[in-house]
Structure 1
Amino acid sequence: MVTYIFRRMISAIVVMAMVGVFIFLLVRLAPGDPADIIAGPSATDQTVADIREQLGLNAPLPVQFRRWAGNLLNGDLGTSVFAGRPVLQLIRQRLQPTLSVSLSTLFVSVTVGVTFGILAAWRAGGILDRVLIAFSALSYSVPVFVVGYCLIYFFAIQTRWLPVQGYASINDGIGPWLARLILPTIALSLAYIAFITRITRASMLEVLSEDYMRTAAAKGASPYAMLFHHALKNSAAPILTVIGLSFAYLVSGAVLTETVFNIPGIGRLVVDAINNRDYPIIQGVLILISGIYVLINLAVDLAYTLVDPRIRY
């Protein structure tokens, strides 16, 4: 078990090192120059050159990478070119809205998706199964921004049951915080509910067709015991995989949802940074998202050993 964990951690470190190199080159080689944006359209070439010198953009790429990687290892993501503040501080200010939407969406998606998948597998081929599969196909096909604007129109503009846009901190009270989360959570969770439902159904059907499940039914095992004690436990590996990936996608895919619902999260921070060619913010957020991907994949790999001890060896 210790050897398995050590191997997975070494792999995670190697992956993060490769991702760091890729992110640095991707941002640096992309079109656009922050010095031009800072200087403005009427600036002279000398002014632009001076700004590039101040930002350290005239140094060769290996030198820029060495500086950036050294600061990164010390926990310094750099300073925003336009805000003039540490990138880590800006990310911390935007982290609560993004995590709130992501965690609430993950909770709803896993709860509803796994339940729907179990019901669909239990009634495979029946009316309930067909309805749930049709719902999954429809939910997965409709873009998030379409669902978001429809929800805003019906539940915020027409009925005025919920706020239109914005975010309320949890420090302002549970009620306002939840009221601002309902619509973005529903809009973002529909696609993930569909995805988790399909994976859970397929995994459950595969396990339910095994000989030991027929033996359990012949011995008089209850449907509850067959579905939850036997089938769900033995089909947990692919479900854990899709849940882990879903959370990583939620954090990185919150850009569109935060734009539709005007939520001041990390997604909005990235959009503004891209428009301004703010290299430190772009690199810092990409590294953060990549780290979340790697850590979640590592956690999922370790969770496999709990549901299937054979993986340890």
Structure 2
Amino acid sequence: MGAYILRRMVSTVAVMAMVGIFVFLLLRLAPGDPADMIAGPRATPEMIAGIREQLGLNQPLPVQFVHWALSILGGDLGISIFTGRPVLELISQRLEPTISISILTMILSVTIGVSFGILAAWRDGGLVDRILTAFATLGFSVPVFVVGFFLIYLLAIRTRWLPVQGYHPIDDGFGPWLVHLILPTVTLSVPYIAFIARIARGSMLEVLSEDYMRTAAAKGASSYSMLFHHALKNAGVPILTVIGLSFAGLIGGVVITETVFNIPGVGRLVVDAINNRDYPIIQGVLILVSGLYVLINLAVDLSYTLIDPRIRY
């Protein structure tokens, strides 16, 4: 067990080192001079030189990387070019909406997705299974922004049940906070519900076809006991994997969802930074998101040992 955890920790450090190198080179080796693009078409050579000095672009790449890596390890993500404020401060100010949407989305996706998968597997081949499978296929195929615009038209414009856009901090009250998160959360949850439901159904069907499950049924085990005490636990590894991947991959959907619903989260911050070519913000968000992705995968890998004891050895 200890050796397994140590191997996973070492591989996590190696992956983060590779991610850091990639993020560093991604912007510096891109076509064009970042300083020239930041300065704009009317900039003088002196202005461009000053920007290059500010960004440290006039130093050799290895020196730039060492300085950048040491700053990252010290918790300094740099200074925004256009606002002059620390990148970490800008990101922290946008975290609440993004974290709120992400947590509510995963709660909704896991609860409904796993339930749909179990129900479809239990009613394999029946009407319920066909309906849930059709929903999973449709939900996984339709883009998030299409779902968002449809829900806006149906629940905000047509019926006026929910607000169209905006965000209220939780300090303003739980009610306004939750009401403004319903549409973006449901929108973002649809593809993850479909994805988790499909994996859960397939995993449950595979386990339910095993000999020991038929033996349990022959001994008179209840459907509840077979589904939740035996089948779900043994089908847990692939389900847990897809839940971890879904949570780690939320940032892509959050960017689109926050743009559609005009929510001032990290996704909107990234979009604005790309439009303004604010490279420190882009790099800072990429590093934080990559680190979160790697840590979630590490947590998922370590949790396998609780579900399947064979992985410990």
Q: Same fold (TM over 0.5)?
A: yes
Trace 1:153-302 onto structure 2 (pairs within 5 A): 153-302=153-302
Q: Report SS of the residue matched to 2:249.
A: helix
Residue 305 of structure 1 aligns with an amino acid whose one-letter code is T
**How far has the Cα of 1:169 moved from its partner?**
0.7
Structure 1 partner of 2:308: 308
| 1:193-214 Cα distance to aligned partner (Å, 9 max, x none) | 1100000000000000000000
For residues 190 and 235 of structure 2, what CA distance do their matches in structure 1 show? 22
Is 2:28–2:34's contact at 8 Å kept on the other side of the alignment?
Answer: no
Q: Which of structure 1's runs of 4+ aligned residues deviate more than 6 A?
A: none
Query: Gaps spanning 5+ residues in structure 1: where?
Result: none
Q: Percentage identity across aligned positions? A: 74
For residues 45 and 112 of structure 1, what CA distance do their matches in structure 2 show? 58
Is 1:37–1:276's contact at 8 Å kept on the other side of the alignment?
Answer: no
| 1:100-138 Cα distance to aligned partner (Å, 9 max, x none) | 111111000000000000000000000100000001111
Residue 251 of structure 2 aligns with an amino acid whose one-letter code is V
Is 1:34–1:278's contact at 8 Å kept on the other side of the alignment?
Answer: no
| 1:171-205 Cα distance to aligned partner (Å, 9 max, x none) | 11110110111001111111001100000000000
Residue 110 of structure 1 aligns with an amino acid whose one-letter code is V
| 1:232-273 Cα distance to aligned partner (Å, 9 max, x none) | 011000000000010011134311111001111111111111
| 1:72-126 Cα distance to aligned partner (Å, 9 max, x none) | 1111111111111111111111111111111111000000000000000000000
Is 1:27–1:279's contact at 8 Å kept on the other side of the alignment?
Answer: yes
Is 1:23–1:286's contact at 8 Å kept on the other side of the alignment?
Answer: yes
Structure 1 partner of 2:17: 17
Is 2:237–2:307's contact at 8 Å kept on the other side of the alignment?
Answer: yes
Q: Report SS of the residue matched to 1:75.
A: coil
Residue 9 of structure 1 aligns with an amino acid whose one-letter code is M
Is 1:252–1:289's contact at 8 Å kept on the other side of the alignment?
Answer: no
For residues 123 and 312 of structure 2, what CA distance do their matches in structure 1 show? 34
**How far has the Cα of 1:38 moved from its partner?**
4.3
Is 1:203–1:238's contact at 8 Å kept on the other side of the alignment?
Answer: yes
For residues 94 and 263 of structure 1, what CA distance do their matches in structure 2 show? 9
For residues 281 and 304 of structure 1, what CA distance do their matches in structure 2 show? 35
**How far has the Cα of 1:44 moved from its partner?**
1.7
Residue 191 of structure 1 aligns with an amino acid whose one-letter code is P
Tell me the number of residue pairs that the alignment of Structure 1 and Structure 2 aligns.
313
Structure 1 partner of 2:142: 142
Q: Does 1:56 align with 2:56?
A: yes
Q: Report SS of the residue matched to 1:161.
A: coil
Residue 300 of structure 2 aligns with an amino acid whose one-letter code is V
Structure 2 partner of 1:110: 110
Is 2:188–2:253's contact at 8 Å kept on the other side of the alignment?
Answer: no
Is 1:95–1:265's contact at 8 Å kept on the other side of the alignment?
Answer: yes
Is 2:273–2:279's contact at 8 Å kept on the other side of the alignment?
Answer: yes
66-75 vs 24-33, greater mean Cα deviation: 24-33
| 1:52-80 Cα distance to aligned partner (Å, 9 max, x none) | 12321211211111110011111111111
Query: Gaps spanning 5+ residues in structure 2: where?
Result: none
**How far has the Cα of 1:34 moved from its partner?**
4.3
For residues 54 and 101 of structure 1, what CA distance do their matches in structure 2 show? 36
